[in-house]
Structure 1
């Protein structure tokens, strides 16, 4: 297995927690998928991938852990296109300019409408 994102830390004080105890602490927050209205979530995964059972892997006084961050991908270009279309429709229907505050509210509405349908991206660290 090759690592794309490996961070190694050398601690200045002894690390007195056993791998099993650390596993129990990390197990309080396992990784999960984003719900329909969440922008991102994070949690711990087995460092050995699908074959791993424990959330820690200890070898020769080294302990490996893996954090998974999942976030919804919301392209600004798509949000801005829908915002421009909705504002032009509103200005045409009501015959007035949309103010800055109202524009922000419309953008928030569009963002919340699109959030449940947005793709998710996972990053392992």
Structure 2
């Protein structure tokens, strides 16, 4: 249940939908299996492997986007088309043309796709209406776009927009690294990626390496900008901040250690409740601190 990536979006206005009303809307677009020649489907699934599409605790909401994809590599279709073309050449005495090859690939695709295995994945999404956040547990913008697209189709609107801060994360991360310190409750960790400008930028990466030394900072002096920076929050959460504001590789190390030493009592449902409360509380503070460090929301 613990989020490992934070792809943030801001809430435009107030969120007035109750968990029950939200559940009802999501139930209209649940994940359906791929049938026939459909290669991929998307819909809402339970975030807890039960019958509920929305888990609500207080004002916090948790839900999941499900994706089912047929596993049919293009190389399989290509090889099957080549084999079929060889049979045609042996029988007819000439190679199939481009149009016929395209028709062969389409024919083979229609034959193999219904028989292909399907793989499912779930992308968890957390809405914090009070703090104005929608957080997708994903490290790629594409996954976030999928969530917002289906949310818009489901609700008829999407009151969320991408994070846009007054200062760019790249500019701030470069300044923090040059200074050897981060603002507020943040501190530098041991991972970093820097790139130069231009169409073919040079890149340098440091992993599990102290970032305070001159061997690191000289790259900033040489004109490189920081695109990824390992950081810690309040000595409790470690993560990598990536431009344009995606928080990746989140590790609740101290929190999980405390949790292990003080394992919540009760059944799995009660432990889930406790973990969700702890996670959302910590991440709300982290995201608030990050917004402040980046100068707040960009003004129009």
TM bucket (normalised to shorter chain) is 0.7 to 0.9
Pairing 1:1-125 to 2, within 5 Å after superposition: 1-3=1-3, 7-49=7-49, 52-125=50-123
- Spell out, residue by residue over 1:26-68, the C-alpha distance to the aligned partner (whole angstroms, 9 max, x if none): 111122221233211111111112xx33211122422111111
For structure 2, list consecutive stretches of 5 or more residues without a partner in the other structure: 124-300
Q: Greater strand share, 1 or 2?
A: 2
Structure 1: runs of 5 or more not aligned: none
Secondary structure, aligned partner of 1:64: strand
Higher RCO structure (Cα 8 Å, ≥6 apart)? 1
The 3 A distance-change label for structure 1 pair 5 and 36 is: farther
- Distance across 1 between alignment mates of 2:85 and 2:73: 19
Query: Is contact 2:46–2:53 with CA below 8 Å preserved after alignment?
Result: yes
TM-score, normalised to structure 2's length? 0.39
Structure 1 position 97, deviation (Å):
2.2
Alpha-carbon offset, residue 3 of structure 1: 3.8
> What TM-score, normalized to structure 1?
0.88
Listed one character per residue, the Cα deviations across residues 91-120 of structure 1 (whole Å, up to 9, x for unaligned) are: 111011211011100110011010111111
Distance in 2 separating the partners of 1:43 and 1:30: 4
Q: Work out which of the two has the higher radius of gyration on C-alpha atoms and give 1 or 2.
A: 2
Q: How many equivalent residue pairs?
A: 123
Query: Larger deviation: 30-39 or 79-88?
Result: 30-39
Q: Secondary structure at the match of 1:124?
A: strand
* 3-state SS, counterpart of residue 42 of structure 2: strand
CA RMSD of aligned residues (A): 1.7
The structural deviation recorded for 1:5 is 6.0
